[in-house]
Amino acid sequence: MTNGFADESVIGNGDYGVVYRGVLLDNTLVAVKRLLSNSCPAKDFELEVEAIGHARQKNLVKLLGYCMEGAYRMLVYEYVSNGNLHQLLHGCLGQVRPLTWEMRVNIIQGVAKGLAYLHEDIEPKIVHRYLKSSNILMDHQWKPKISDFGLYKLVGPGWSHRTARAMVTSGYVANEHELTNEKSDVYSFGILIMEIISGRTPVDHSQPQVYLIDWLKSMVVSQRIAHVVDPRLREMPFSKELKRIILMALRCVDPDVEHRPKMGDVIHMLEPRDLLLNDVRRINSSKR
């Protein structure tokens, strides 16, 4: 199915394992993730995989099946063809053909809907814990699909703790103590919004303000919201829409966990509200 897990079949390396391109007997193209840790007992592994497999929503990468073979644990997913959001924002493709503002808003809304489904529409709920731009895959229509949700339960506490530390240093989570709650996903989503709007990574040591969250807050305080938009954008967003999305991001990263909104509320707050009627002005790009 994966040509014997040959190197030429590798399409990605993630926090939990190596991903291979595979082909089923009916010629369906799939992505096979071979997990790096097999410390989760077989029975628990099967139960958790079944729960993940029940998650069915258009903004989630669909789990098609799994395999336990000796020391190997493998997950078979639908194949998502257009890479991940991190590559589109920060890679070579993003430099040549940057995402439009409309595409960015659609990605934000799609990820919000996927998270809301995991948190509020299935039982038991699923907390992602490691939401970041490289875990947002893009399909052939440039629609976002969240990957790797629920996988922390499949690799055991030791491996999960190492991944948690990496997430803290990457800037996507506030601290390790929040990782078991869905409000940690809300925080990560807020950071993701900032990344999508600005085109900056959450942590960038080449910048005077290393952390994206600190830089964006300073721009808001100094009333320079127009300056947070990715300079590669050819057309600037409507000012009211930009402000609404930025304020939503700031609510998601509130230091007080209880003050962060639920993802269902986030979806509602991201909906356009008569933007064309109330604000036909574009942010003047010359101000940047």
Which residues contribute to the annotated binding site for ATP? 43
Q: Which are the contacts of 46, defined by CB distance < 8 A and separation ≥ 6? A: 66, 68
Contact 126, 261 (CB under 8 A): no
d(CA 150, CA 105): 25
The SS3 call for residue 280 is: coil
Find where tokens 């709650």 sit.
Answer: 181
d(CA 143, CA 242): 21
Contact 182, 119 (CB under 8 A): yes
d(CA 33, CA 53): 14
User: 29: which DSSP letter?
Assistant: E
d(CA 170, CA 168): 5
d(CA 126, CA 150): 6
d(CA 242, CA 244): 5
Helix or strand holding residue 214 (H, E): helix 212-221
d(CA 70, CA 64): 20
Contact 108, 270 (CB under 8 A): yes
Q: Would you call the peptide bond into 157 cis, given omega within 30 degrees of 0 as the criterion?
A: no
Strand partners, 18: 13, 34
